[in-house]
Structure 1
Amino acid sequence: MKKLSKKIVFVALLLVGSTALGYALSRDNVVKAEGKPENKVEPKLANKTWYFLGDAGDSRTDATKYSLVADEDRPCGDKLQEVCSLSAPDDGTGHPNMSAIVSGTQTVSNRISAAFPSGSAPTTNETVTALRAISE
């Protein structure tokens, strides 16, 4: 009789343990299926050097005004008035990603604006890497 009760206790514990393990595993899958965020790190995209080909009046933050090829007629460094080059990741369409985070919570667009403070001379920063004369 003692052997039988030990077997019953053993089988009961085995069933309870299996049930608990099954529940835990299925609950984990339900949480993943519900789209709960997992601790994933977004890969940082490599920056490229972009050259501003815009003229006076063109927006410095218009990504379509940038190229990976410099314009020989607009050399960097001759005058410090306008964006010449900037460092930013590609947006996937062959233009700089103006929404990419580059410094804390600051985007490429924010850092371009920061290089041109109101009432002060423009300066370079980690995004705006060189300046040039304004093209008419």
Structure 2
Amino acid sequence: MDDDYSLLDVFWTMLWFFVWILWLFLLFKVIGDIFRDHELSGWGKAGWLIFCIFLPYLGVLVYVIARGKGMGKRDIKQRQDNEAAFQDYIRKTAGTAPSGGSGAHELARLAELKDKGALTEEEFQRAKAKLLA
């Protein structure tokens, strides 16, 4: 059995392995941000990609220093857009979309308008029959 590989060596190996994995995550995040940035021209995207591929550690570090603030803003905007799309999907699926809405929602709105006096009984009955048909 070889005793040249001590517990400290195992620790350092694990540490460098995890640092390498963290760097890979950062590299993929940077590449994703390069493609997500609509303000960056095609040549700019190609330049950053070449820089990050051929000088990976330096390229990623320079990108984070130069464009890190915008990277965070784009990430927040994408999350807000995703949340808005998700909420819109839920409204449409549940039938409570502000544009059309479900029959029950429309009927409740008609009853509210009738109670406020905006609709007469005849108008309410006609709209209700049209809605239920």
TM-score, normalized by length of structure 2? 0.29
Structure having the higher helix fraction is 2
Structure having the higher strand fraction is 1
Higher relative contact order (Cα pairs below 8 Å, separated by 6+ residues)? 1
